[in-house]
Amino acid sequence: MNQQATTGQAFRATLKRDLIIAYKRKNDLVNPFMFFLIVATLFPIGISPGPDRLGEIAAGVLWISALLASLLAMDNLYRSDYEDGSLEQLLLSPHPLYFLVLAKNISHWLVSGLPVVLVSPLIAYMLNLPDAAYAALFITLLLGTPVLSLLGSIGVALTVGLGSRGLILAVITLPLSVPVLIAGTLTVQETLNGASLGGYLAIMGAMLLAALTLAPLASSAALRISVN
CB 93, min distance to other proteins, A: 4
Nearest CA to 126 out of 195, 36, 187, 30 is that of 36
Q: Which stretch binds other proteins (CB under 8 A): 14-22, 63-71, 155-163, 180-188?
A: 14-22
Q: Determine if 20 is a binding residue for other proteins (CB under 8 A).
A: yes
Q: CB nearer to other proteins: give 80 or 128.
A: 80
- Figure out which of the listed residues 86, 115, 134, 142 binds other proteins, where binding follows CB under 8 A: 86
- Figure out which of the listed residues 83, 118, 168, 182 binds other proteins, where binding follows CB under 8 A: 83
Cα–chain center distance at 171: 16
Nearest CA to 115 out of 206, 28, 5, 210 is that of 28
CB 121, min distance to other proteins, A: 32
Site for other proteins in 91-120 (CB under 8 A): 91-95, 100
Q: Which stretch binds other proteins (CB under 8 A): 18-26, 41-49, 109-117, 211-219?
A: 18-26
Q: Determine if 30 is a binding residue for other proteins (CB under 8 A).
A: no
Q: CB nearer to other proteins: give 81 or 147.
A: 81
66 residue type, one letter = A
Q: CB nearer to other proteins: give 86 or 189.
A: 86
Give CB contacts under 8 A, 24+ apart, made by 67-70.
67/148, 67/174, 67/177, 67/181, 68/35, 68/36, 68/39, 69/32, 69/33, 69/35, 69/36, 69/39, 69/112, 69/116, 70/32, 70/112, 70/113, 70/116, 70/145, 70/148, 70/149, 70/152
Q: Site residues (CB under 8 A) for other proteins?
A: 1-5, 9-10, 13-14, 16-17, 20-21, 24-25, 80-81, 83-86, 88-95, 100, 227-228
